[in-house]
Amino acid sequence: MSPLPFKTWGKPTSETPIYFAHANAYPPDSYQPIIDALAEQRQVVSYLQRPLWQPTPALDSIDSWWDFADDVIQFFDENNMKNVVAVGHSMGAVTAFMAAQKRPDLIKALVMIEPVALSWFACWLTRVFPKTVKARVNIIAKALGRPNRFESKQAAFDFHRKPRAFKRISDENLMHYINAGVTQQGDEYHLTYPREWEARVYATATYFRGQLLKSKLPVLAMRGGYSDTISADFWKKWQQNTNHQFVAFEDCGHLLPLENPEAVIAEILPFVEKHLRTL
């Protein structure tokens, strides 16, 4: 099997890089301001999740997000990475955390931006009634319903400028996503991250709240005030874990790192710098 694909930013050194874990449907270059800021501290490396592999794997090659965590572990082992400071958004934050749960030697500190921390019942529903959930869960239906191709990059930008989910993202930051999220194929631009895979990832969201509440891994957790992945009740309960630090961004949603990258960077850097110094 070929080594798992990845991207790097910044100058390679003998020092351990920072690991950046991207969200479902958002390739790592979507987060350019944050990656640029991290790359000033240390080289940044981002494993490309399974939906970005070429050729694209079969949808049924995963059953839960623990499978993605196993991919992360394989990537770390292939590249001899241990004791890493990691930053992740959404699913990326979750799979990095899961990898650290299975292999504590890999990640020494983790920034979790808007991790998908759904209730046990919500995750159970997707398992027991997958067809019903696919049709009725808004985020999955939208993923399957959006165009797979566009006549131009500008057409892709114009389409994504309209949805409510992107309303708090500036044109500049939205274009970072478009540059990463669509790829030219002939005379058209196709989604880099297939919509069928986007829906599959949502439909296999995995319960892990219990591990979060007991975790001793140093974590900086971030939540948007309009979050639809971390309930207010669980956010409050999670803060009982004294090993973790918490920052709330009241005017942001799940796409917090694209909506306000400057504020995210301001919170991330002190945490990252602190743990880099202890490597």
**Is 173 part of a structural domain of the chain?**
no
Which tens digits make up the pLDDT trace of 38-92? 999 999 999 999 999 999 999 999 999 999 999 999 999 999 999 999 999 999 9
- Mean pLDDT of the residues in the chain: 93
The residue range of the domain holding 32 is 6-128+205-277
**Is 147 part of a structural domain of the chain?**
no
Instruction: Tell which residue, 73, 71, 74, 72, has the closest CA to residue 61.
Output: 71
**Following DSSP, what letter does each residue of the chain receive, concatenated?**
-PPPPEEEES---SSPPEEEEPPTT--GGGGHHHHHHHHTTS-EEEEPPGGGSSSPPPGGG-SSHHHHHHHHHHHHHHTT--SEEEEEETHHHHHHHHHHHH-TTTEEEEEEES-----HHHHHHHHH-HHHHHHH-HHHHHHHHS-SEESSHHHHHHHHHSSGGGTTS-HHHHHHHHHHHEEEETTEEEESS-HHHHHHHHHT----HHHHHH--S-EEEEEETT-SSS-HHHHHHHTT-TTEEEEEETT--TTHHHH-HHHHHHHHHHHHHHHHHT-
Inform me whether the pLDDT recorded for 125 exceeds 90: no
* Distance in angstroms (rounded) separating the CA atoms of residues 134 and 94: 22
Q: What is the CATH number of the domain that holds 69?
A: 3.40.50.1820
**Is 141 part of a structural domain of the chain?**
no
**Is 190 part of a structural domain of the chain?**
no
Decide: pTM greater than 0.85. yes
Q: What angle do CA 182, 188, 191 make, to 5 degrees?
A: 25
Average of per-residue pLDDT across 94-108: 99
What pLDDT shows up at residue 2? Answer: 84
Inform me whether the pLDDT recorded for 163 exceeds 50: yes
Query: What percentage of the chain reaches a pLDDT higher than 90?
Result: 83
* Distance in angstroms (rounded) separating the CA atoms of residues 127 and 123: 7
Decide which of 124 and 137 is more confident: 124
* Distance in angstroms (rounded) separating the CA atoms of residues 18 and 37: 11
**Is 134 part of a structural domain of the chain?**
no
**Is 223 part of a structural domain of the chain?**
yes
**Is 19 part of a structural domain of the chain?**
yes
Least confident of 7-21, 32-46, 137-151: 137-151
97 Cβ neighbours under 8 A, 6+ residues apart: 88, 110, 112, 115, 208, 211, 212, 215, 217, 219
Which tens digits make up the pLDDT trace of 231-264? 999 999 999 999 999 999 999 999 999 999 999 9
Query: What percentage of the chain reaches a pLDDT higher than 70?
Result: 92
Average of per-residue pLDDT across 136-157: 75
When divided into structural domains, the chain yields a total of 1
**Is 104 part of a structural domain of the chain?**
yes
Inform me whether the pLDDT recorded for 167 exceeds 50: yes
